[in-house]
Amino acid sequence: MTIRRRKFGTGHAYYVDEVKVPGVTTIIGDTTPKNLTDWSARCAADFAIDNWDELLAMRPSERHKALHYAYRHDRDSAGRRGTEVHRIAERLVAFEEVAKPEALAGHIDSYVRFLDTMNPEPVAVELVVVNRTLRYCGTADLVCDLGEVTAEEVIPPCRWLLDLKTSRSGIWPETALQLTGYSRAESYLDPETGEERPLDSLKIDRCGAVHITADGWELRPVDTGEQVWEHFQRLRWLYDQQDQMRAWIGPAVAVPLPV
């Protein structure tokens, strides 16, 4: 029995015993409605203001296309930023020296301040996890030991599963679903040996998200209790129904041609 995380371009896919299975973020992203109307409209407006002269020089159809797809530029830039910050964070937490790209200097400085302030003791980085019962995989950013944390309550020193977020909009409820999927996995791949081991053996106590921006950082504990787990399981079921939903619409009725 094997678990593989296969990279392709800027993405990746998971295979359990040579059968492709969805990742946690794919399950959530494909089944959770997103309120993106305001964001996409703002992207078009910002693009128009920032590129006014270039747009005026375009043909109307080209101008329409540039504004219509302006959101893609914002989305792809954010995705590349997040991927690069995660890559550098993985090396920083391992106490490796890294080059600091000018465009990400603020994010990297913020993450360094998080490391200096919280002093996490890493247990695992970029940990691939699997739940064979529900057939899904995922990659957790960081498992580490933290000292006392004060949020709405004082959380004593314990072991955390943390996810790093770099979006401008902050931490959304979907992050709790994401971390619940990771923490409810059944096993993980040992980074050193590649062997599959029970996730329970890591003795994870809490889950949280670290929001990294160019201006600072913020640690937010998240709920991964039974209610959130039940919600994730419903999303996992819904994900499998999407192919069946396509069969709800029958073939077009053949209309006889006039004689």
pLDDT at residue 74, rounded to an integer: 60
**Residue of 94 and 131 predicted with greater confidence:** 131
Residue range 103-136, pLDDT digits in tens: 788 888 898 899 999 999 999 999 999 999 999 9
Q: What's the rounded mean pLDDT across residues 35-41?
A: 65
pLDDT at residue 83, rounded to an integer: 72
pLDDT at residue 66, rounded to an integer: 80
How far is residue 24 from each of residues 56, 170, 181, 189, measured CA to CA in Å?
43, 19, 6, 16
- What mean pLDDT value characterizes the chain? 86
Poorest-pLDDT segment among 1-5, 70-74, 180-184, 246-250: 70-74
- This prediction has a pTM of 0.79
- Transcribe 230-244 into DSSP letters: HHHHHHHHHHHHHHH
Q: Dihedral angle at the C-alpha atoms of 244, 246, 248, 251, nearest 10 degrees?
A: -130
The CATH number of 3-30+82-241 is 3.90.320
d(C-alpha 200, C-alpha 215), whole Å: 36
Q: What ranges do the domains of the chain cover?
A: 3-30+82-241, 32-68
Q: Is 140 exposed, middle or buried (0-12, 13-18, 19+ CB in 10 A)?
A: buried
Q: What's the rounded mean pLDDT across residues 198-209?
A: 96
**Residue of 187 and 252 predicted with greater confidence:** 187
Q: What's the rounded mean pLDDT across residues 230-256?
A: 87
Give the sign of the dihedral formed by CA 246, CA 247, CA 249, CA 251: positive
**Residue of 258 and 209 predicted with greater confidence:** 209
d(C-alpha 98, C-alpha 117), whole Å: 19
d(C-alpha 127, C-alpha 125), whole Å: 5
Q: What are phi and psi of 55, to 5 degrees?
A: -65, -40
Q: What's the rounded mean pLDDT across residues 171-191?
A: 94
pLDDT at residue 31, rounded to an integer: 85
The answer to whether residue 81 scores a pLDDT higher than 90 is no
**Residue of 204 and 12 predicted with greater confidence:** 204
Q: What's the rounded mean pLDDT across residues 138-165?
A: 93
d(C-alpha 26, C-alpha 229), whole Å: 16
